[in-house]
Structure 1
């Protein structure tokens, strides 16, 4: 049986630790009790650092992780920062840094919220027979 709970990504960020330490520690306790992490899609830069922190926790604790859309983009950023040691790695959508590890696709409309999404049906194949997904 799977149990799901929701943690606000912003609650995992350093600003929350400073402004509301109880909320910050409760969010981390909840995350640390998880058997896996799913970071869904979303828009904008709010909560990005919290998402990246949750992904880093999942990777370093060998917990199952599934990133969907923005969640997978955050996983690429996390890996570039903490494994490849590109400390300023980010997405061109959020930061025009030196190490843009996620770039917008030119055929989309980046000036419109959601305009960078790939539209249409896509087939996803999970190749692991022992996955709980």
Structure 2
């Protein structure tokens, strides 16, 4: 669907939103104004969070909080041209996104992020809980 097809997203969400994760990537662009509109119109049920897309970490955190408050899931996502910096893994766990999109572990910058997630899990021990399907509001 097109990023401006609010009616199409609304219809798709009404039809499938209780069964599958409908991620607003270009629809929401990590933007709280667009996310608020999507929530109001019932568009999608998840937001793809690109940490350097909106401008600041505070704005990113606000988008995630808004999504969670509305019952949406949030997925932390890398951007093209990524480096081996693992901040996305730390923020993904800290902000309870429950999912991370960083690609197949076929390149060092991706493996670095997955390794950081493993280190975090090891450090948290039994407190590290992955909710699995419990993260979703499927009916």
**TM-score normalized by the length of structure 1:** 0.34
- The higher relative CO (CA closer than 8 Å, separation ≥ 6) is in 2
- Structure having the higher helix fraction is 2
